[in-house]
Amino acid sequence: MRIAIVGGGLGGLAAALFLRQAGLHATVYEQASALREVGAGLVVPPNMVRPLARLGLAAKLPDFAVRLEAAWEFRRWQDAHVLSVQPMGDECERLYGAACYVAHRADLLALLQAALPEEQLCLDHRCVEVRQDDGGVELTFAHRGGHWAKVTADIAVGADGIHSAVGPALQANVEPRFAELCAFRFLVSADRAPEMALRPVQTLWLGPGRHLVHYPISGGRLVNGVAIVPAGEWRTESWTAEGSVQDLLVEFEGWHEDVQRLLAAATETKRWALYDRDPLERWTHGRVTLLGDAAHAMLPFFAQGAAQAIEDAESLAACLRGTDAASAPAALQRYEALRRPRASEVQLMSRGREIRNHLPDGALQRQRDLELAQGEPLRQSAWVYAHDGEASPSMPPAGA
Ligand SMILES: Cc1cc2nc3c(=O)[nH]c(=O)nc-3n(C[C@H](O)[C@H](O)[C@H](O)COP(=O)(O)OP(=O)(O)OC[C@H]3O[C@@H](n4cnc5c(N)ncnc54)[C@H](O)[C@@H]3O)c2cc1C
């Protein structure tokens, strides 16, 4: 069976690897002429570590990632008061059979790429059209320099991110929704960062209208920071668009001195307008399906976008295992039935945090802080972190 995967991000590469493990051959078509991720960190939660382990890759995580001892350490913007903290480390391994890491996206992408035979990745292939009939799929690609190529396949998988070119072939596309927020992303070398930011902890500072997340990456040599603030006039959505450190500092005037010191240590920052989508009504049509952000673009507030993409990848391969070209459409329907409810729920939950994280000081904020102090995020999120194929809870418990 010929499988074409459009998009060589974390989701597309993982799908090719899981399909390979299932005895199926897939080719990844990526628009970029080289695979690279720009400077930004990523939480690698246990529900991503376990699939990576099944690919034989998790043992390499400690080479470059930082194992978190604590996560969701919420602090108050003015005085650094800890509102809540969730021990990870051994507790996470005990509960979910895997640790939680934070990593540089580039390292993670390189890990997946190194595991994929070169001939399964075609760079400089920008998909511009996908057509299908009962017998197969035809994909059209544009190359730099103005050449075109057509490829036929038995099934096509759109792993091409929030602005998917494959999505329209499903006739169920939903326009991305602008969240009126933007993310400043920056890296600070460890010797310039405040001591508290070097701990193996994912820290979130909550304040009126904005929040800041930071954690160490790259074996502790760098601190990754993401500041979520009102977007103002900013609409550019790109990993590479330059922002201004000065603008970033202005956003956090009056915040605790550790925050100010961390931001002031940044020498450059990228600025990215945040979009998500309403859950799609369907991911699959005939011989074409979606995966990762193309299927369920979500806000980054639950740090689950990439993890859900990797879960999709494993599930897709499990559904396709043992099928042939004739039975593939039914397998794609099974994949969607397994994945869409869960990923949609995570999408909506991530959106819910948008308001909660940014409450102005007052009664609602005090109520939130009380709930944070009483909550147990690791246990409350069991349905997310414990998910393991079909054999574990996929959805939140009723009333959660
Ligand atoms: C600020 C921020 C912080 C985040 N933090 C986390 C986190 O801590 N943990 C987590 O799990 N997730 C996090 N995420 C989400 C995560 O980054 C995404 O969910 C994840 O990268 C999605 O992977 P993907 O492979 O589906 O799509 P992408 O990473 O978007 O990859 C899509 C690929 O497709 C290619 N492509 C696009 N169009 C075409 C085309 N027409 N033809 C061919 N190729 C094409 C692109 O070049 C790209 O390589 C964060 C997101 C943001 C914005």
292-327 pLDDT per residue, tens: 999 999 999 999 999 999 999 999 999 999 999 999
* DSSP labels, 289-313: EE-THHHH---GGGS-HHHHHHHHH
Query: How far away, in angstroms, is 18 Cα from ligand 1 center?
Result: 18
Indicate whether 39 pLDDT > 70.
no
Burial environment of residue 391 by CB neighbours within 10 A (0 to 12, 13 to 18, 19 or more): exposed
Q: How far is residue 266's CA from residue 259's CA, in Å, rounded to a whole number?
A: 11
Range of lowest pLDDT (232-241, 344-353, 356-365): 232-241
Atom of ligand 1 nearest to the CA of 294: 26
pLDDT value for 146:
83
| Alpha carbon nearest to ligand 1 atom 51, residue | 300
Chain segment 106-117, per-residue pLDDT in tens: 999 999 999 999
29, 101, 215, 385: which is the annotated catalytic residue?
215
Mean pLDDT, the chain, rounded, equals 92
CA angle 65, 221, 271 (to 5 degrees): 85
For the segment 269-281, what is each residue's pLDDT rounded down to a tens digit? 999 999 998 999 9
Residue 256 contacts residue 81 (beta carbons within 8 Å)? no
**Nearest CA among 279, 275, 274 for reference residue 290:** 279
Q: Residue 348 Cα, ligand 1 centroid: separation in angstroms?
A: 18
Say what the pLDDT of residue 398 is: 60
pTM of the model: 0.94
Which is it for the CA torsion 348, 349, 353, 356, positive or negative? positive
Q: Please write the tens of the pLDDT for every residue from 166-205.
A: 988 887 667 888 999 999 999 999 999 999 999 999 999 9
Distance 154 CA to ligand 1 centre (A): 25
Q: Match 């329209």 to its residue by tokens.
A: 168
pLDDT tens track for 63-81: 999 999 999 999 999 999 9
Whole-angstrom distance, CA of residue 215 vs CA of residue 200: 7
In CATH, which of 3.50.50.60, 2.160.10.10, 2.60.40.2470, 3.40.50.300 is domain 1-34+123-175+279-355?
3.50.50.60
275 is catalytic: no
Mean pLDDT computed over 98-103: 95
Test site for ligand 1: of 18, 31, 204, most ligand atoms within 8 A of the Cβ: 31
Radius of gyration of the CA atoms of the chain, in A: 21
Domain ranges of the chain: 1-34+123-175+279-355, 44-104+177-276+359-394
CATH code assigned to 44-104+177-276+359-394: 3.30.9.30
